[in-house]
Amino acid sequence: MSDCIIAPSILSANFAKLGEEVDNVLAAGADWVHFDVMDNHYVPNLTIGPMVCQALRRHGVTAPIDVHLMVQPVDRIVPDFAEAGASVISFHPEASSHVHRTIQLIKSHGCQAGLVLNPATPVDVLDWVLEDLDLVLLMSVNPGFGGQAFIPSALDKLRAVRRKIDAAGKAVRLEIDGGVKADNIGEIAAAGADTFVAGSAIFNAADYADVIARMRQAVAA
């Protein structure tokens, strides 16, 4: 799977005009909307839930909504997000008592399922479930906040996960999240990522279309 997906994280958007921000970033060339859900329990921050996801759908957003759950427990919020219009739902294995069960739960609600690896989570957590997944989300910062610096060891980890996905021979997307910028996305793509979350790099820029175009060029180079 080599097509490049750019998924702006709305964590860095202006929440006072969220619908407009999402419209603008999609018009600027974004593919997915990355939706960070934080519970002040699994991570030390509090953000948005299913009602906001549903509001974006009612506003007219048709692009895939890529829900990144940083919540514990996981399972009871999954049906609410599916009903609210989530397309992909990803969760952290440390936050679920039964990882395989949570993956099946997400899929049974008609969504694609993703597993998120924190910077210190070993890649072998993917063993025995990789073939059930639609996406692996690799964190290149510790979850909880936008605007942090990319952790360089994530590059080697990307290569390790890419090898596992290729060996499994299944179309599983490899998404990277945290500190992704136009000037490092090229090496991140070369290490094996095909799906790129970027929050501050896009929403703090004056011209969303210009950053997204520069990101795509760097990935294609």
Find out whether 145 is annotated in a ligand binding site: yes
Please, which of residues 52-81 interact with Zn ion by CB under 5 A? 68
| Residue 200 interacts with ligand DX5 (CB under 6 A): yes or no | yes
Site string for Zn ion, 9-48 (x = CB under 5 A): ---------------------------x------------
Which region among 77-85, 126-134, 167-175, 199-207 touches ligand DX5 (by CB under 6 A)?
A: 199-207
Judged by CB under 6 A, does residue 177 bind ligand DX5?
Answer: yes
Distance CA(97)–CA(47), nearest Å, equals: 23
Rounded to an integer, what distance in angstroms lies between the CA atom of residue 163 and that of residue 156? 11
Nearer to ligand DX5, 123 or 151 (CB): 151
197 binds ligand DX5 (CB under 6 A): yes
Of the residues 31, 39, 66, 177, which one makes contact with Zn ion according to CB under 5 A = 177
Q: Does 152 bind ligand DX5 (CB under 6 A)?
A: no
Query: Closest residue to Zn ion, Cβ-based?
Result: 68
Q: Strands 173-177 and 135-139, how do they pair?
A: parallel
Per CB under 6 A, 195 contacts ligand DX5:
no
Give me the residues that bind Zn ion (CB under 5 A), please: 36, 68, 177
